[in-house]
Structure 1
Amino acid sequence: MSDLHVIIPAGGAGTRLWPLSRRRRPKFLLDLAGSGRSLLQGTVDRLEQSASTVTIVTGAAHREGVLAQLPEFASSDERTLLIEPSGRDSMAAIGLAAYVVRERFGDDAIVGSFAADHLIACPELLRDAIATAIDAARHGYVVTIGLAPTEASTAYGYIAPGPVLDGDQPGASSSPARARRVAEFVEKPDAQTAARYVSQGYLWNAGMFIMSAGVLASHLARLLPDMHERLETIARAWGTDSFERTLEE
């Protein structure tokens, strides 16, 4: 177990895999790999050994489905389920959980956001990457985990990796999964551009981010001050009888 506080945003309308997934039965609640575990259960299984706490953020429509599969999230200090009263964007969901972690554990707490519906073939490689990311995040970096492309996909954004952090730089790691600076983020490209990115060594952006709760709050305070103030108000109510009411206001 590490001091990583895992955040799993589990939302969506369930339309991409229709008719397998529906609004009330989204992809992350399905066992698409035939493992006997849903994608969400697999995500928790994969990450909990690297985590001090795990927080799932989902909508009211999915509360019962999530708790049916993960009943330990109903009443545990280490396993928390947060319910968004209405669907918002992923930053709001991740921010909600991160600000609650910050309220509970302080600015230096390391938070990591991971999708609820990923299949990971080599979890040990992910654990190595997470360990490297935690080292860098402790030194103030916002860290994303890039994936080596298997094809020139147009379904992902891409990351242009920059220089490796040298061994004497804060946040550098001796792990095989070395931390690099990011040279560029690019949105989902067309097929020709995707092929060029792959040939140039770009990585897939899988939307996995790790940083300290305080660093996230400082960026939101600067870039999205209204969201920052709202999340701070909600987080201050954590552990009180007014938390759910404050969340819904």
Structure 2
Amino acid sequence: MFLKEFREFIGLSQKDFADKLGLTQASIARYETDKMNPTTTVIKKYIDIFNANPNFLFLGLEPLVLSLEDEYLSKNNQEIIKDLSLLLPQNELNVELNKILIDKVLNRFSKDDEKSTIMKILSALHLEGHIPYRPFLFLYYTFKYVSENSDELQNIKSYKEYFVELVKRYNQFSIKNDPMFSEKIKSEIEANIELNFTEEETKILLTHPMETIKKLEEKMTSGMVRTHRNKNMKDLFPKK
């Protein structure tokens, strides 16, 4: 979520912000560092007191605050959040919202209505048939590696830099690596991450690898999933 960014936009310290919301500073700190998820009641306070745009709070989509023209939309969003909170326990609601965000971010690699950079490259190279699935398979390998080596996330300074470094580490010449990715395609994937992904979006993907993998599997054929699910990821991402 983008709670810290919203507070910084408002220009209040954690203490002053907490006072406005009727919460403790410790709670705000835990929300902003993802150590605790805010309840729907807390999110409603952000909206009611600061006119926060829930689309920004959950997905990082601007504007940060709602204009008068957005008031009707804001009320609709609040009602949707209320309805969801009645249908789902809070932890399940947060999981579902994360799935929406993960799916939205992954869709930047391929859209039906507007081809992504990677898909345009594949088309330009005249790669037909099952080949257009390769970007998803490449990402699938990446997040499988992350899920099996989550300890590497503990000491990184930037999630984007780590993600790009994984792309660079990918061993396209390995015998066990069925689909070969040229340096050109790897470079395009690196550029896509660096130009189109925020640090927060990259963090969401890397810290929720199993949810990301599930979303990727939905975009792959069942045969591809069956073939590639049990590959040894350390062979594909050797440490330098």
- TM-score w.r.t. the length of structure 1 is 0.28
Q: Of Structure 1 and Structure 2, which has the larger fraction of its residues in strand?
A: 1
- TM-score w.r.t. the length of structure 2 is 0.29
**Larger radius of gyration between Structure 1 and Structure 2:** 2
Comparing both chains, which one has the higher relative contact order based on Cα–Cα distances under 8 Å and sequence gaps of 6 or more?
1
